Structure 1
Amino acid sequence: MDDVRATCKLKDSWWTVFLVDPVACRLTLLAANHTAITPNGLSRLSLALGVASALWFAAGQLAAGAVLFYLSFMVDCMDGKIARLKGTGTVFGLWVDYVGDRIRVICCAAGLAFGQYMMTGDVAYVLLGAGVAVLDLFRYVNAPQMKRVRDAVREDREALSPATGDPREPGEVSVTREEIDAVLDEAVALIDAPAASRPGGVRRVLGTYRLIGPFLARYRIRTHLVSGIEFHAAVFVAAPLLGSWALLPVSTGAGALLLLNEVYLVYRLWRFTRVPAAAAPAVRKDPQRVLV
């Protein structure tokens, strides 16, 4: 079991840490020791359970759909653990896992919207299904683009350091990595300075949030508490189990929190891109790479 737990992500969503991994780890141990199932096989099983969940949602059976969605997500958590435990993961398996997740969410959103619309005739459920699908796709389209930007900024930061071995033109500024880090810290402090002018209520909320940091780190929970996983759990597990009355308010609230989280991540990315330009613009040689 220690070997299985070692395959868990260093940081994960609180839903996964507390409500999925305790079961998924034990099932992974059984699957690893007593079956020859592959990560791709688990991904296919997860997708099949997700489609079954969508069919139950379409039939108006919310509780059954919620249970199947939970099982689908749990199996989806197992494929990565098996891959890391046995070393049987493949690059193509990453694609299978990624696309399978998107198909599952779209199918379940469509099934949920269809089932409730057929039962009530309320077009709000159609809008709900479309909104869930759009938010999920935006999140997964936005994430790799943000990673590309961060990687580009890191490349620029590396270019500022002579440790890379790049030749310097005469008259260029030569700086050490420690000097760069100091300048970056000062730039971040300057960018963060306006935070002192925030309303007292906002400062208190942020202060409270920082206090729970050690707790989150201890249980390897990501600091953004409302990610896509929690969004899916709210829409496809919690709300259906509560009943049809909870679908609209719970899904809308979870969607709003997810959108706020994405806005916050974009803000952090923007702040991150401002630091290199403020740090040492004089050493830039390619005008096309200047960050604004």
Structure 2
Amino acid sequence: MDDVHAVRKPRDSWWTVFLVDPVACRLTLLVADRTAITPNGLTGVSMALGVTAAISFALGQLAAGAALFYLSFMVDCTDGKIARLKGTGTPFGLWVDYMGDRIRVICCAAGLASGQYAVTGDVAYILLGAGVTVLDLFRYVNAPQMKRVREVVRENRAQREPAGEHLARQDPAGENRVPCDPGPAEVAAVLNEAAALIREASAQPHPGAHRVLRLYRRIGRFLGRHRVRPHLMSGIEFHAAVFVAAPLLGSWALLPVSTGAGALLLLNEIFLIYVLWLSTRTAPASPIPQRLPV
């Protein structure tokens, strides 16, 4: 089990850390020791469970759909651990895992919306399904674009600074870095970049940015001691709220819980975009045309 714990992500969502990993780690140990199943095979099992959850939602079986969605996500958490534990991960496997997540969410959103619309005739459930899908896709489209902007900011600053000065500002001791996991949380690197830029720009400070990032780093260090990312509502918690918590509470909770979770996710994305904007404000202007695709 110590080997399995060693391949967990250094930082993960609070839902995964506290409510999924305790079971997923035991499943990982069982699969790794007693079967020859591959990470892609586990991804296929996760997708099948996700589609079955969607069918359950469409038939109005909310509790069964919630249980199947949880199992699907738990198996999805296992495939990455198996890949890191056995060294069997592949670049194509990353794509399969990504697409499996999107298929599960889209199918479950459609199943939940159609099932409740069939029972109630309320068009609000159709809007709910569309809203969940749009929010999920926006988050996963936005993250790589933010990464591209961050790369341009780094390139521009490297062209403006003497050799070695840029690296010196990266806080090699790690004292001020935001502890976050890669993946959708790649934007944590944007926060680290912005923090370094603001520390450097003391002659022309942005007080609001400094206060926001300082508080964010404190929260991040506290949660980091428990392997938790400093995001109250990231995509994982959003999915858990819409497809697990709300259905288990009953049909009455679907609209308010999903709406509240969606609002929190949107606020989280706005905050990350705000920090990205701060990092571009403090970055030097590019001496050459920027290479961001339009």
Deviation at 1:180, TM superposition (A): 9.2
**Alignment-derived partner of residue 172 in structure 1:** none
**Alignment-derived partner of residue 269 in structure 2:** 262
**Alignment-derived partner of residue 155 in structure 2:** 155
For these two proteins, the number of residue pairs brought into alignment is 267
- State whether structure 2 residue 244 is matched by structure 1 residue 237: yes
| Structure 1 unaligned regions, length at least 5 | 165-174
- State whether structure 2 residue 113 is matched by structure 1 residue 124: no
Deviation at 1:179, TM superposition (A): 7.3
Q: 1:268 to 1:56 in 2, by over 3 A?
A: same
Q: Distance in 2 between matches of 1:183 and 1:18?
A: 34
Verify the 8 A CA contact 2:156 2:287 in the aligned structure 1: no
Q: 1:31 to 1:189 in 2, by over 3 A?
A: farther
Q: Distance in 1 between matches of 2:70 and 2:254?
A: 16
Deviation at 1:178, TM superposition (A): 4.0
**Alignment-derived partner of residue 207 in structure 2:** 193
Deviation at 1:20, TM superposition (A): 0.3
- State whether structure 2 residue 47 is matched by structure 1 residue 59: no
Matches within 5 A, 1:40-119: 40-119=40-119
Q: Distance in 2 between matches of 1:253 and 1:75?
A: 27
Q: Distance in 2 between matches of 1:135 and 1:121?
A: 24
Q: Distance in 2 between matches of 1:20 and 1:189?
A: 46
**Alignment-derived partner of residue 289 in structure 1:** 290
Q: Distance in 1 between matches of 2:263 and 2:234?
A: 11
Verify the 8 A CA contact 2:49 2:69 in the aligned structure 1: yes
Deviation at 1:194, TM superposition (A): 3.9
Q: Distance in 2 between matches of 1:124 and 1:51?
A: 23
Q: Distance in 1 between matches of 2:34 and 2:134?
A: 40
TM norm structure 2: 0.83
Verify the 8 A CA contact 2:158 2:166 in the aligned structure 1: no
Verify the 8 A CA contact 1:191 1:271 in the aligned structure 2: no
- AA at the equivalent of 1:187: A
Matches within 5 A, 1:267-286: 267-277=274-284, 285-286=287-288
**Alignment-derived partner of residue 21 in structure 1:** 21
- AA at the equivalent of 2:72: S
Q: Distance in 2 between matches of 1:5 and 1:159?
A: 41
* Shift >6 Å, 4+ stretches: 179-183
Deviation at 1:214, TM superposition (A): 3.9
Q: Secondary structure at the match of 1:20?
A: helix
- AA at the equivalent of 1:259: L
Q: Distance in 2 between matches of 1:243 and 1:70?
A: 16
| Structure 2 unaligned regions, length at least 5 | 172-195
Verify the 8 A CA contact 1:70 1:237 in the aligned structure 2: yes
Q: Percent identity?
A: 72
Verify the 8 A CA contact 2:47 2:72 in the aligned structure 1: yes
Q: Distance in 1 between matches of 2:3 and 2:9?
A: 13
- AA at the equivalent of 2:232: L
- AA at the equivalent of 1:235: V
- Give deviations 1:110-150, integer Å, cap 9, x for gaps: 00000000011111000000000000000011011111111
Q: Secondary structure at the match of 2:8?
A: coil
Q: 1:156 to 1:55 in 2, by over 3 A?
A: same
- AA at the equivalent of 1:223: P
- AA at the equivalent of 1:146: M
- Give deviations 1:203-243, integer Å, cap 9, x for gaps: 9xx96x76644430111111122100000000000000000
- State whether structure 2 residue 262 is matched by structure 1 residue 248: no
Q: Secondary structure at the match of 1:222?
A: coil
Deviation at 1:100, TM superposition (A): 0.8
- AA at the equivalent of 1:289: Q
- State whether structure 2 residue 44 is matched by structure 1 residue 37: no
